[in-house]
């Protein structure tokens, strides 16, 4: 059986890097990976991690999920434009009191986390439907199921992706195209630690002092504690993604951290939303 072509945006670090490398180094050589990133100056870490797979089962290309022309260029360079599996991973994090977040900043988050994911799905979908074969894997978050305090905009962007994919998944079944949401909880990455550090030093114009105090003195320390004690590594999440890709009939939802699965059960068990 010929290897499946897997397109992975957002591979310069974290989950994207880990999953691209894990797929490329698959012992059964089931995958040919196109690992992409917006800025190719950041490819060194990926090249190093890929090792002997580089140039064989893993090729690096430039792709900006926020740009129509960049997506078209990348798709045009893939032989026959054929993508068997899309791992929609590119995303940006954001945390803080909503009063201090500009509308422009909110749009930027949605541009990557929602419209970027949609742009990629639209790029691969016509060919998948034509071939009646394909798998769209979207890296969402438990925050796409449950809003968390001070993560208002990030959660909203993930809720949007979840709703979009939940609607789309039903329609695509008749074309034998599967959609899978992978929903990690906290993941220990340099990106997360850097974000927390930057935020702890930030000023929050337009936000009342009580909210700023609660954010800095209660939320941030608690969040840091959760990331360090309950957080998974990108490698753990990558392993879960590989299992989803390898499944004969992949589930629509997979939480990579079992500690967070009860959240989903609670959410769907309580129509009032009071739980």
pLDDT of residue 146: 87
CATH topology of domain 4-187+233-269: Rossmann fold (3.40.50)
Is 50 annotated as ligand-binding?
no
Is 21 annotated as ligand-binding?
yes
Q: Find the helix packing angle between 152-172 and 103-110, rounded to 10°.
A: 30
pLDDT > 70? residue 224: yes
Query: Could you give the residue ranges of the DSSP H alpha helices within 150-254?
Result: 152-172, 190-200, 209-214, 220-230, 234-246
Range of weakest confidence among 68-82, 95-109, 212-226: 212-226
pLDDT of residue 222: 86
3-state secondary structure of 178: strand
**Residues near 213 by Cβ (< 8 Å), separated by ≥ 6?**
none
Q: Is 255 left (phi over 0), alpha (psi -120 to 50) or beta?
A: beta
CA 11/CA 18 separation, integer angstroms: 8
Structure tokens at 107: 């749009």
pLDDT > 80? residue 36: yes
pLDDT band at 116 (very low <50, low <70, confident <90, very high): very high
DSSP secondary-structure letter at 28? T
Residue in the block written with tokens 């201090």: 100
**Domain coordinates in residue numbering, the chain:** 4-187+233-269
pLDDT > 80? residue 196: no
Is 130 annotated as ligand-binding?
no
Reported as a single tens digit per residue, the pLDDT across 124-137 is 999 999 999 999 99
Is 274 annotated as ligand-binding?
no
pLDDT of residue 186: 80
Backbone angles phi, psi at 125, to 5 degrees: -65, -50
pLDDT > 90? residue 104: yes
Is 14 annotated as ligand-binding?
yes
The average pLDDT across 232-252 equals 94
- C-alpha distances in Å from residue 268, one per residue of 97, 131, 181, 272: 27, 35, 16, 10
The pLDDT > 90 percentage for the chain reads 68
Is 96 annotated as ligand-binding?
no
Q: Do residues 19 and 241 touch, judged by C-beta distance below 8 A? A: yes
pLDDT of residue 275: 63
Is 25 annotated as ligand-binding?
yes
Reported as a single tens digit per residue, the pLDDT across 38-83 is 999 999 999 999 999 999 999 999 999 999 999 999 999 998 889 9
- Which residues are catalytically annotated? 154
Is 36 annotated as ligand-binding?
yes
pLDDT of residue 52: 95
The pLDDT > 70 percentage for the chain reads 99
Structure tokens at 175: 């074309």
The average pLDDT across 188-211 equals 80
The winner for highest mean pLDDT among 117-121, 147-151, 207-211 is 117-121
Q: What is the rounded average pLDDT for all residues in the chain?
A: 91
Residue of 164, 13, 32 whose CA lies nearest to 85: 32
**Residues near 25 by Cβ (< 8 Å), separated by ≥ 6?**
50, 51, 53, 57
DSSP secondary-structure letter at 31? E
């Amino acid at each position: 059986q010929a290897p499946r072509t897997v397109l992975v945006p957002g591979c310069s670090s974290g989950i994207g890097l880990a999953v691209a490398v894990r797929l490329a180094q698959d012992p059964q050589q089931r995958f040919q990976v196109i690992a992409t990133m917006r800025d190719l100056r950041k490819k060194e870490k990926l090249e190093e991690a890929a090792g002997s797979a580089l140039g064989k089962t893993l090729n690096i290309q430039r792709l900006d999920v926020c740009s129509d022309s960049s997506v078209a260029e990348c798709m045009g360079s893939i032989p026959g434009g054929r993508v068997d599996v899309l791992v929609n991973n590119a995303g940006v994090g954001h945390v803080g009191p909503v009063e201090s977040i500009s509308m422009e900043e909110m749009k930027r988050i949605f541009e990557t986390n929602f419209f970027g994911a949609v742009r990629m799905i639209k790029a691969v979908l016509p060919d998948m439907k034509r071939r009646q074969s394909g798998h769209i894997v979207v890296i969402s978050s438990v925050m796409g199921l449950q809003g968390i305090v001070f993560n208002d905009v990030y959660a909203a962007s993930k809720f949007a992706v979840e709703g979009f994919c939940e609607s789309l998944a039903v329609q695509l079944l008749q074309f034998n195209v599967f959609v899978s949401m992978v929903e990690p909880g906290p993941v220990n990455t340099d990106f997360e630690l850097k974000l927390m550090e930057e935020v702890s030093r930030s000023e929050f114009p337009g936000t009342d002092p009580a909210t700023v105090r609660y954010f800095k003195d209660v939320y941030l320390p608690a969040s840091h504690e959760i990331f360090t004690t309950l957080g998974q590594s990108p490698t753990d999440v990558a392993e879960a993604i590989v299992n989803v890709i390898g499944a004969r009939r992949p589930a629509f939802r997979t939480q990579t951290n079992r500690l967070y699965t009860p959240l989903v059960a609670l959410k769907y068990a309580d129509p009032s939303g009071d739980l």
